[in-house]
Amino acid sequence: QCAARIPEAAAVLDLLEKCPEHQQKGGFPVVVFEGLDATGKTTITQSVKDTLNGVLLRSPPACISQWRTIFDDEPAPIKRAFYAAGNYILASETAKASTQAPVIIDRYWHSTAAYTIATEINGEVQDLPPVHDEVYQWPEDLLKPDLVLLLTVDPEERVQRLQRRGLEKTKEEAELEANCLFRQRVEESYRRMVNPACHEVDASPSKEEVLKTVLQLIKKHCAL
C-alpha cells in the first residue's frame, strides 16, 4: 500500500528482502554510538574509526539515506517503518564489515526505539512504559553490537553547539529544542534500553578527553 504512494518505499523493501535473515557478526567488535544531535557523535565516531582502522557505518545506511527527508514528512508509522527497515539493512552491512575490521556505527536500533517511545507517549518521564517493559528489549532477530555508548551533554551546551553549527534543524531536533519533556523522554528511554544497555559517556569535555574515555571503554568491553 505504501509503495503505491511512495515509490521509494518499494526500493527500501527490495533492499530489505535481499538481506539474509539472522545476521551473524564477524570476528571484529561492533560499537554503536547513540545520543541526541550535537552530542559529538560525528566527530567521535570518525576519530574512533581512524584510531582502530575500522569501518564507519550510519543509520539510516547510505543506500537509503537519500530518501530520509521523504519519509520524515510521512505519518509516524511509515516514518518509523523506514528507520526500522534501515536497521535491518544496516545489520546486513555490519555482518559483512565485521569480518574484516572493527565496525563503528553512528546510531542504530536504540535511536529508533527511543524516539518512537518518546513520540508515542505524551507527558513526563513517569508516563513512559515501566522500566522492564519489553519495548526496551533488543529485537531477537537483529544483529547485536558488542557495546553501545550513549553520548550526553548538558542541554544548554547542546543547544549552543547546534547554534554554532548553524545547520537546518530536523523536525525532531526542533521538537527537542521546543519541548523539554520530549527530550527528557528520549534520554530516559535510551537509559532504559537493555540487552545491550547503553553505557553513558559525558561528551562535554574536550574531543581528546572524550576519545580517551571512549577508547578505554572499548578496550574494556571488546576483544581487540
Condensed to tens digits (0 to 9), the pLDDT of residues 108-163 reads: 999 999 999 998 988 889 999 999 999 999 999 999 999 999 999 876 766 676 66
- Supply the pLDDT for residue 172: 63
Q: How many domains does the chain have?
A: 1
Rounded-to-integer distance, Cα 146 and Cα 32, Å: 8
Rounded-to-integer distance, Cα 65 and Cα 1, Å: 21
Of 100, 101, 96, 106, whose CA–CA distance to 143 is shortest? 96
Statement: residue 38 has pLDDT above 90 = no
Condensed to tens digits (0 to 9), the pLDDT of residues 184-213 reads: 899 999 999 999 999 999 999 989 999 999
- Supply the pLDDT for residue 165: 62
Average pLDDT for 45-73: 95
- Supply the pLDDT for residue 166: 60
Average pLDDT for 150-178: 68
- Supply the pLDDT for residue 174: 62
Q: Which domain holds residue 61?
A: 2-222
Centre a 10 Å sphere on the Cβ of residue 220 and count the other Cβ atoms it contains: 9
Average pLDDT, the chain: 89
Q: Is 40 exposed, middle or buried (0-12, 13-18, 19+ CB in 10 A)?
A: buried
Q: Is the pTM of this model over 0.75?
A: yes
> Cell numbers of 222, please?
571488546
- Supply the pLDDT for residue 180: 81
We report the CATH number of the domain holding residue 203 as: 3.40.50.300
